[in-house]
Amino acid sequence: MFGKLALWLLVVIPFFGKAQDSAVYTAGADFQYHPQDFFLHVRGQLIKKKLAHEVFIGFGITNTILQGQPKPSIGYDISYRSKLIDWIVISPVIRLSYSFLSTKIPQKHPFIHLTESFLGCRLDIGLRNRVAFTGGIGPAIEWKYDAYNGRKNQFFLWNYFVEIGYYHEF
Domain ranges of the chain: 22-169
Contact 16, 8 (CB under 8 A): no
pTM of the model: 0.82
In order, the DSSP letters of 112-130 are EEEEEEEEEEEEEE-SSEE
Residue-wise pLDDT tens for the chain (170 aa)? 445 544 454 454 444 445 456 899 999 999 999 998 999 999 999 999 999 999 999 999 998 888 888 899 999 999 999 999 999 999 999 999 999 998 877 667 788 899 999 999 999 999 999 999 999 999 999 998 877 777 888 999 999 999 999 999 98
CATH 3.30.420.40 fits 22-169, yes or no: no
For residues 127 and 78, give the distance between their C-alpha atoms in angstroms, rounded to a whole number.
Answer: 19
